[in-house]
Amino acid sequence: MIILGKRLREVVRGILKSMAVINNKSFLHYLIDFWINKGIFCI
């Protein structure tokens, strides 16, 4: 299955989706926190 993220595109037009701000943090920040909490420290 391919998910294109069309709904998010309307909100974050002009920036990378990974840099979309959610509650004053980028989505990438949440991803890195998730990986760290799972014990993955080297990305």
Burial category of 16 from C-beta neighbours within 10 Å (exposed 0-12, middle 13-18, buried 19 and up): exposed
The pLDDT score that the predictor gives to residue 2 is: 62
Percent of the chain scored above 70 by pLDDT? Answer: 86
pTM for this entry:
0.65
Q: In the predicted model, is pLDDT for residue 35 greater than 70?
A: yes
Q: Averaged over 2-17, what is the pLDDT?
A: 73
The pLDDT score that the predictor gives to residue 18 is: 82
The pLDDT score that the predictor gives to residue 6 is: 65
